[in-house]
Amino acid sequence: MSAADPHYVAKTFMDHLPILQVVIPLISAPLIIFIGNRKLAWIIAMIASAAAFVIACLMLAQVKDGSFISYHIGGWAPPLGIEYRIDALSAFVLMLISGIATIVLPYAYTSVKSEIPKRLHTLFYALFLLCLTGLLGMVATGDAFNVFVFLEISSLSTYVLVAMGAGKDTRALTAAYDYLIMGTIGATFFVIGLGLLYMTTGTLNIADLADRIANQGANRTVQAAFTFIVVGMGLKAAMYPLHHWLPNAYTYAPSAVTTFLGATATKAAIYVLLRFMFSVFSPGFHFEDWTLYLIFIPFSLLAMFAASFVAVFQTNLKRMLAFSSIAQIGYMLLGIAMLNATGLSASIVHLVNHGMTKAALFMGVGAMVLYSGSAFFDNLNGLGRKMPFTGAAMVAAGLSLIGVPGTAGFISKWVLVQAAFENGWWIIAIAIMLSSLLAVIYVWRMFEVLYLTAPAEDCTATDPPLPMLIPMLILAFACIWFGFDTELTLGSARVAAEGLLAGSAGMAH
Amino acid sequence: MDTSTALYLTMLIPTVAMAGNMVFADRENLRDGITFLCAVLTFAYVLVILCNVGNGTTAELRLFEVVSGLSIAFHVEPLGLMFALIGSGLWIITHIYGVGYMRGNNEQHHARFFACFSIAIAAVMGIAFASNMFTLFVFYEILTLSTYPLVAHKGTPEAVKGARTYLGILIGTSIALLLTGVIWTFTIAGTLDFTKGGILEGKITPTLLPVLLGLYAFGIGKAALMPFHRWLPAAMVAPTPVSALLHAVAVVKAGVFTMLKVGIYIFGIDFLASTGASEWLMWLAAYSIIAASVVAMTKDNLKARLAYSTVSQLSYITLGMALATSMGALGGGMHIAMHAMGKITLFMCAGSIYVAYHKTEISQMQGLGRIMPITFGAFLIGALSIIGLPPLGGSWPKFLLMLGAADAGHLIIIGVLMVSSLLNIAYLLPVVGRGFFRPATDSKLPKTFAEAPLLVWLPPAITAVGCIVLFFYAGSIQNFLLPIVSN
């Protein structure tokens, strides 16, 4: 496995983990279509994503000490061959993505039945796996063009998944179309950036790229490539003000899709952003410093305040949570802009903490929509009392969203503010705190609707069936658990952050 | 039993009480019995800890580390032990009172009410025994969240609005200011452990010290320092047992307790004194004392008047810390106990009047003293203790605070304390006066002795006696607290 051995050939099962991570869901997707059986479709999807999760965990255990796994596809040595490269950061994000997929599928089993027409069920699971493949591939690969390919796989399947919400609300179609246009622009920008880099260096391997542009900071082509890549990925990550596609897509997509996307899609894009900004380009380039200070900080602050402010006034719970996601992405970008180990680990740990939190919340909304038909606050009155377990899960996750101590969200916020203090940025530290007050307001609106308003007299809502309830409770429990035990989350994030800050040295062969 | 087991149990037993309330939600006698038993047990284990003090078992208890350098950890020190004793002891009395009040007043959702109440007590125990600022902060927030449903209990629009103010100010200040201060402290000092003499000396430039102190002083919203006091009157929409235990004892005392802890163990009294960083806070606390008393005089609603009185009294404790002298800190610490006993008496009396005759405004209470002599008698004793007249417990901390002010050379503060006592007389004694000496205006009132139910009038009578007893034991309390300021 060591990259130092040039004649290394992968032999055992364990050696093939990086490729299995992507190939298992990739193969399972067409398998589902060929078999065409609705029951089996779910089972196959479940097995594939659970396998992906196990693989991600195995790999994280191997690289948690700061080492990395380099896998050469077909035995072709990089930079000519395609390389898959797993380090602490990628393993950590892989674990999040595959973990959320595994936990969303049982939930989807019931929720899809009620939200999507029967004839589309097999297609749904196939697309779900394709989307998973794309997201995992983006993270696992060490080849820049591969990132683009997987980005497109995940995006195209996502557009269709969002559009499947049309069975309930035809606005899902326009939302998907919107997302399609914006997402395509983003992907195009990204590939233009890659083209420019290829033009300058003649390579597409990420580690090789990093070596070759190391002293080309003054090269305009490299600078242009950087711009295209940041804007392109910024679009996919819903970086403020490129977030326009997100609220509608999250609001009108089927609940299971919203849950999965909200917890993973933007996170994978942020991973790619991190990878390119730190491992390919290095903050040593003057233009990158400027981007961080002049673009990332103001826009992430705007996201934190403007998006939270908009969230406060939403009348639809799903939409409110979508705007809150945009604000939370602001926190992650802010952590990146701090450019120190603590800030980066705050961003990375927030990827995961926010992923769990939002997934639990979207699941809760989905369960309520099952009975109320829509996520408008008016239709959710008093449902927290009628659905005690769902309500409890949403309270736990809501508190984590605010960042109340004892929840995962608190840990992210603590580390982020600490990073601000380390840089001596008092004002930013206070801004982070003030923006979380806005989170208090919108989360509390949700609590008041769920608990303090009287439910309709003929309301028959009860907790959803166990397959929906258990994943939700697991995530809610995780929101609290990771507020106390941060060994796995923050520990991995710190290792990942150090790897990133080592720049291209962290990517050395 | 060793101290660490008892420490666990003091937090675990209230949690059991909560679970009991939720499981047996429909069997009210069993449910209230379990809670009572748990309250007694909690108090007993705090007593065990008290007995263990000095026999070598007071080790620090590290539960686990959350982030490197930050752990959930507990220890026993005099101030916290005293706070735990007050909290758990008064829980027993308030529980008896609460059962009487909730039943006598036909309030709804008893199980939810007592479950949240128990969680709040568990949080108070966590605050009392926290051995670092991080642990304290975690339990501080749990306390805020667990008392929110209690304030919103009635579910009426006013209750919801009051609860919103309550939560908005408490969460707002604690996240925006206190948490900022805590993380700042952690970044510069590298630790948050409560250490005698403070952890900040030499770590921060003197110009920034008052700023950091300000983050704490305003961030600890539960101490109700003006201008962040509005939540306390707003919380009075809660049923009276909540106002009695939580908003005269547990929640507000958690605030000033935190204030004292921060002053003594984070900043260090000597460090504050040598830098003068707390002087502005002293003047603000003095202003808070006078201003809140003046506002209290304008309130006709009895609970609102008591709430403003609490705002004023809490600032005594903040003042004690800000004086930055040993006597001031001791006086502040002792005032936690004395004020708790006095104010809970007053609140329980207010509740007793409400249960018996549904009177909330002072102007309607004329003549009530003749038919409810026990309630009004207890009110008188509680009021005299708050005013600070011997032979009642409340006289001692005021005396110590004055000594502290003299030590610090601030004679004006002595004047402030005296004026405050006069104002206390002006807004508390008329309630008793109207009750006993003015003829009843409401012709529907009975003419002879007709008290509230036994479970409602007995608890304030007990705490009123407690106010007298405390006067004679003030010396022991002072000796007990002495280690927090002596080296």
pLDDT tens sequence across A324-341: 999 999 999 999 888 888
Q: Per-residue pLDDT for A213 more than 50?
A: yes
Which residues 6+ apart lie within 8 Å of B174 measured at CB? Answer: B137, B140, B141, B144, B219, B220, B221
Interface probe for A, chosen from B112, B187, B204 (most Cβ of A below 10 Å), is B187
Q: How many Å apart are CA B353 and CA B346, to the nearest integer?
A: 11
Q: Per-residue pLDDT for A479 more than 80?
A: yes
Q: In whole angstroms, how far apart are CA A225 and each of A212, A236, A243? A: 14, 17, 22
Nearest to B331 by CA among B158, B485, B145: B485
Q: At which residue do the structure tokens 């104010």 appear?
A: B343
Q: How many Å apart are CA A382 and CA A393, to the nearest integer?
A: 15
Structure tokens at B376: 């009004």
The answer to whether residue A444 neighbours chain B at the CB level (below 8 Å) is: yes
Q: Per-residue pLDDT for A361 more than 60?
A: yes
Residue A465 to chain B, least CA–CA distance (Å): 22
Q: How many Å apart are CA A100 and CA A359, to the nearest integer?
A: 8
Say what the pLDDT of residue A271 is. 93
Question: Dihedral angle at the C-alpha atoms of B424, B430, B432, B436, nearest 10 degrees?
Answer: 160
Report the range out of A466-480, B96-110, B218-232, B355-369 with the highest average pLDDT: A466-480
Q: What is the mean pLDDT of residues A112-127?
A: 89
A143: helix, strand or coil: strand
| Residue A495, CA atoms < 13 Å, CB-side half-sphere | 21
Residue B421 to chain A, least CA–CA distance (Å): 38
* Bridge partner list, A141: A84
Between A61-75, A494-508, B274-288, the lowest mean confidence (pLDDT) is in: A494-508
Q: Give the model's confidence band at A507: pLDDT under 50 very low, under 70 low, under 90 confident, else very high.
A: low
Nearest to B163 by CA among A379, A447, A320, A406: A447
Say what the pLDDT of residue A504 is. 61
Mean model confidence pLDDT for chain A: 88
Q: What is the mean pLDDT of residues A463-473?
A: 88
CB B355 within 8 A of CB B105: yes
The answer to whether residue A446 neighbours chain B at the CB level (below 8 Å) is: no
Structure tokens at B114: 């007592």
Chain center to CA of A10: 30
Q: Per-residue pLDDT for A267 more than 50?
A: yes
Q: Show the domain range for B420.
A: 279-487
pLDDT digits (tens, 9 = 90+) for B438-467: 777 766 777 777 777 777 788 888 888 888
* Bridge partner list, A316: A376
How many domains would you assign to chain B? 1
The verdict on residue B153 lying in a domain is no
Pairing outcome for strands A83-86 and B70-74: unpaired
Residue B414 to chain A, least CA–CA distance (Å): 37
Query: Is the previous residue joined to A79 through a cis bond, with omega within 30 degrees of 0?
Result: yes
CB A334 within 8 A of CB A304: yes
Q: How many Å apart are CA B281 and CA B289, to the nearest integer?
A: 12
Q: In whole angstroms, how far apart are CA B190 and each of A342, A408, B68? A: 14, 22, 10
Task: Give chain A positions within 8 Å (CB) of B157.
Answer: none
Interface probe for A, chosen from B18, B119, B177, B179 (most Cβ of A below 10 Å), is B179
Cα–Cα–Cα angle for B481, B215, B290, nearest 5°? Answer: 65
- State the amino acid at position B245 in one-letter form: L
Tell me how crowded residue A359 is: count the other CB atoms within 10 A of its CB. 31
| Residue A478, CA atoms < 13 Å, CB-side half-sphere | 22
Start-end of H helices in A238-340 = 245-252, 255-274, 286-290, 297-302, 308-312, 317-338
Q: What is the mean pLDDT of residues A458-483?
A: 88
Run of H or E including A223: helix A220-236
Which residues 6+ apart lie within 8 Å of A390 measured at CB? Answer: A364, A367, A368, A383, A384, A463, A464, A469, A472
Q: What is the domain partition of chain A in residue ranges? A: 14-507
Q: What is the mean pLDDT of residues B278-299?
A: 89
Q: What is the mean pLDDT of residues B405-432?
A: 88
Q: What is the mean pLDDT of residues A173-188?
A: 93
Between A165-169, B233-237, B436-440, the lowest mean confidence (pLDDT) is in: B436-440
Say what the pLDDT of residue A2 is. 46
Percent of chain B with pLDDT over 70: 98
Q: At which residue do the structure tokens 């800000």 appear?
A: B322
Q: How many Å apart are CA A65 and CA B260, to the nearest integer?
A: 43
Mean model confidence pLDDT for chain B: 85
Q: What is the mean pLDDT of residues B413-424?
A: 90
Q: What values do phi and psi take at A448, rounded to 5?
A: -65, -40
Q: At which residue do the structure tokens 């992430």 appear?
A: A300
Task: Give chain A positions within 8 Å (CB) of B122.
Answer: none
Q: How far apart, in Å, do the first and last CA atoms of chain A sit? A: 12
| Cβ-based burial of B8 (10 A; exposed 0-12, middle 13-18, buried ≥19) | middle
Run of H or E including A497: helix A489-501
